[in-house]
């Protein structure tokens, strides 16, 4: 643990996503701090409305029960000034960065920023955008230091009281690795069917998570599994002789039947292939390619390995195996909540599972997950790997 972490854990500093109650409390504080400034009550109204509509995520840093800093992520371009041309799919806009005066320049906001970017990355956002006043050199330097280095454009922002300021917008990629991000961007923006299916699996995963909230089955298939399979599928198809679209659609849809709790999980490949077939047919996807996606999904389960005949099927299998190494933290929920294991047993369960998965990874791909595997194997306590 870093010194900062030790110190601030002792200080009882936590970062969290705000509730509506937190939101009201913080905005009333800001209004009280800025008496006579008519912007603040209007900003409060907008913030509460956006939160209720689900188009914003407010992040708060709380020290000993007091909100001392905040930042907001706006997920819908309609609610962002000057969003035209800069907020494409996968982008999120960051704003309302504030730290109470007495807590500035002590690292609190930086921790909140890291917490927020990590959360947004896990939600599947690929790019974060922020705006900074043209005249504000100090913040420009700071944001540059944080990695917001891609200049997008300059625009005018208008405050509720009519004040106009010139703002420059910068972005930062939330997924590491140039090539993968670039390819992903290209696919998401140019390829309608892939993006449609990605949205469909996200929607179904969110619905399932909502239905199972608070139960031992609570799970978000996209966030905890599919997005990683997709990541590896894109990565591996880059230099492979495969139909990339078939690989990507198969990666996104291969476990789709898991979002329907009424279906038998042991036959998830059969149900999944039928569901994918129906979805793609509704989109008038070409029949020949549709059948290849269906075959990938049907044969991705290990009991049907002998029926795999195409490179796309092999690639999906590799991507599915690699993805386990990105999501080993959710294995803890399975061990702990579902199987009722204690922390020591859970660690052993995770280590055994990953040992088996690692053995099954193709030799030339093992380097992709070697570091994670080593870290999990070397852990003496579950806390070391849960972070």
User: Within a 10 A sphere around the Cβ of 93, how many other Cβ atoms?
Assistant: 25
Q: Which is nearer to Fe ion, 70 or 357 (CB)?
A: 357
**Contact range with Fe ion by CB under 5 A, out of 15-23, 66-74, 170-178, 312-320:** 312-320
Q: Which is nearer to Fe ion, 277 or 320 (CB)?
A: 320
Q: Which is nearer to Fe ion, 89 or 206 (CB)?
A: 206
**Closest distance of CB 320 from Fe ion, Å:** 4
Three-state DSSP at 44 gives helix
Distance between CA atoms of 329 and 51, rounded to whole angstroms?
29
**Length of the chain, in residues:** 387
Give the residue, chosen from 248, 255, 312, 314, that forms a contact with Fe ion under the rule CB under 5 A.
255
Residues forming beta bridges with residue 192, ordered by sequence position: none
**Contact range with Fe ion by CB under 5 A, out of 132-140, 212-220, 254-262, 327-335:** 254-262
Q: Using alpha carbons, list the distances in angstroms from residue 246 to 290, 307, 315, 387.
A: 8, 17, 11, 36
Q: Which helix (H) or strand (E) holds 148?
A: none
**Closest distance of CB 255 from Fe ion, Å:** 4
CB burial readout 351-366, b (16+ within 10 A) else e: bebbeebbeebeeebe
Residues forming beta bridges with residue 16, ordered by sequence position: 60
**Closest distance of CB 205 from Fe ion, Å:** 12
Q: Which is nearer to Fe ion, 255 or 313 (CB)?
A: 255
**Closest distance of CB 229 from Fe ion, Å:** 6
**Closest distance of CB 325 from Fe ion, Å:** 13
Half-sphere exposure of 117 (CA within 13 A, CB side): 19
Which distant-in-sequence residues (6+ apart) come within 8 Å of 231 by Cβ? 175, 180, 184, 319, 323, 326
CB burial readout 160-188, b (16+ within 10 A) else e: eeeeeeebbbbbbbbbeeeebbebbbebb
Q: Which is nearer to Fe ion, 71 or 298 (CB)?
A: 298
Q: Which is nearer to Fe ion, 2 or 264 (CB)?
A: 264
**Contact range with Fe ion by CB under 5 A, out of 172-180, 248-256, 276-284, 333-341:** 248-256
**Closest distance of CB 251 from Fe ion, Å:** 9
**Closest distance of CB 324 from Fe ion, Å:** 9
**Contact range with Fe ion by CB under 5 A, out of 189-197, 241-249, 251-259, 354-362:** 251-259
313 binds Fe ion (CB under 5 A): no
Size of the site for Fe ion (CB under 5 A): 2
Q: Which is nearer to Fe ion, 255 or 314 (CB)?
A: 255
Distance between CA atoms of 91 and 173, rounded to whole angstroms?
9
**Closest distance of CB 69 from Fe ion, Å:** 38
Give the residue, chosen from 200, 209, 320, 357, that forms a contact with Fe ion under the rule CB under 5 A.
320
Chain positions contacting Fe ion, by CB under 5 A = 255, 320
């Amino acid at each position: 643990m870093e010194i900062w972490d030790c110190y601030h854990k002792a200080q009882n500093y936590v970062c969290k996503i705000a509730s509506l109650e937190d939101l009201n409390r913080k905005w009333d504080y800001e209004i009280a701090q800025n008496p006579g400034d008519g912007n603040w009550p209007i900003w409060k109204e907008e913030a509460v409305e956006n939160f209720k509509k689900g188009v914003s995520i407010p992040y708060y840093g709380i020290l000993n029960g007091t909100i001392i800093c905040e930042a907001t992520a706006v997920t819908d371009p309609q609610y962002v000034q000057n969003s035209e041309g800069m907020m494409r799919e996968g982008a999120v806009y960051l704003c309302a960065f504030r730290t109470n005066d007495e807590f500035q320049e002590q690292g609190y906001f930086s921790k909140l920023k890291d917490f927020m970017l990590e959360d947004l990355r896990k939600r599947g956002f690929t790019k974060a955008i922020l705006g900074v006043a043209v005249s504000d050199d100090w913040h420009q330097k700071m944001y540059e230091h944080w990695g917001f280095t891609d200049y997008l454009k300059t625009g005018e922002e208008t405050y509720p009281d009519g004040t106009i300021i010139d703002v420059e917008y910068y972005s930062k990629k939330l997924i590491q690795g140039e090539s993968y991000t670039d390819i992903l961007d290209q696919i998401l923006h140019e390829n309608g069917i892939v993006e449609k299916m990605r949205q469909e699996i996200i929607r179904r995963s969110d619905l399932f998570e909502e239905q199972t909230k608070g139960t031992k089955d609570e799970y978000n298939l996209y966030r905890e599994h599919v997005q990683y399979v997709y990541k590896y599928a894109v990565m591996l198809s880059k230099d492979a002789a495969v139909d990339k679209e078939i690989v990507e659609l198969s990666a996104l849809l291969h476990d789709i039947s898991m979002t329907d709790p009424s279906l038998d999980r042991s036959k998830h490949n059969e149900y999944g292939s039928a569901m994918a077939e129906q979805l793609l047919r509704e989109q008038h996807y070409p029949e020949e390619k549709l059948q290849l996606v269906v075959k990938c999904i049907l044969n991705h389960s290990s009991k049907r390995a002998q029926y795999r005949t195409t490179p796309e099927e092999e690639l999906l299998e590799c991507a599915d195996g690699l993805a386990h190494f990105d999501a080993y933290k959710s294995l803890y929920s399975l061990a702990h909540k579902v199987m009722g294991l204690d922390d020591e047993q859970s660690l052993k369960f995770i280590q055994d599972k990953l040992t088996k998965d690692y053995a099954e990874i193709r030799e030339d791909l093992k380097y992709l997950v070697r570091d994670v595997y080593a870290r999990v194997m070397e852990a003496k306590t579950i806390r070391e790997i849960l972070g």
